[in-house]
Amino acid sequence: VMMSVFLIVILPALSGMLLRRSTAPWLYVHDGAIQIEESIKLLLRGENPYTEDYLDTPLAEWDYAFEPPDVNPALYHNAYLPFIFIFSTPVYATTMRLIGWYDQRLVYLLLFLGASWLYTAHARSPTRRLSLLAVFGLNFFGVSYVVWGGNDIFVLFWLIACTYLLRQDRITLAAVCLGLACASKQTAWLFAPLFLTYAWRTERQAGPWAFVRTVCPVVLVPLVVILPFVLWDAASFVDDTYLYLTGGTAYSYPMTGLGFGSLLLTLGLVEDEHAFFPFLLLQLATCAPLLTFLLRIQWCRASVRVCWQGYALLLLFFTFFSRFFADFYLGTIVNAIGLGYLSEDG
- pLDDT 10s per residue in the chain (346 long)? 788 899 999 999 999 999 999 999 999 999 999 999 999 999 999 999 999 999 999 999 998 876 665 789 999 999 999 999 999 999 999 999 999 999 999 999 999 999 999 999 999 999 999 999 999 999 999 999 999 999 999 999 999 999 999 999 999 999 999 999 999 999 999 999 999 999 999 888 878 899 999 999 999 999 999 999 999 999 999 999 999 999 988 889 999 888 999 999 999 999 888 889 999 999 999 999 999 999 999 999 999 999 999 999 999 999 999 998 988 899 999 999 999 999 987 6
> How far is residue 81's CA from residue 183's CA, in Å, rounded to a whole number?
6
Q: For the chain, what is the radius of gyration of the CA atoms?
A: 20
What does the pLDDT read at residue 205? 80
| Residue 48 near residue 78 (C-beta atoms within 8 A) | no
Count of alpha carbons within 13 angstroms of residue 8, beta-carbon side: 17
> How far is residue 171's CA from residue 200's CA, in Å, rounded to a whole number?
10
All residues at 6 or more sequence positions from 284 whose CB lies less than 8 Å from its CB, including other chains? none
| Residue 254 near residue 323 (C-beta atoms within 8 A) | yes
Q: Give ∠ CA 80-85-86 in degrees, rounded to 5.
A: 120
> How far is residue 79's CA from residue 187's CA, in Å, rounded to a whole number?
12
> How far is residue 295's CA from residue 297's CA, in Å, rounded to a whole number?
5
CA distances from 163 to 23, 24, 176, 191, 302 (A): 41, 39, 11, 11, 12
What does the pLDDT read at residue 112? 97
Burial class (CB in 10 A: 0-12, 13-18, 19+), 300: exposed
> How far is residue 161's CA from residue 168's CA, in Å, rounded to a whole number?
11
What does the pLDDT read at residue 69? 58
β-partners of residue 256 are 324
> How far is residue 158's CA from residue 175's CA, in Å, rounded to a whole number?
10
What does the pLDDT read at residue 66? 65
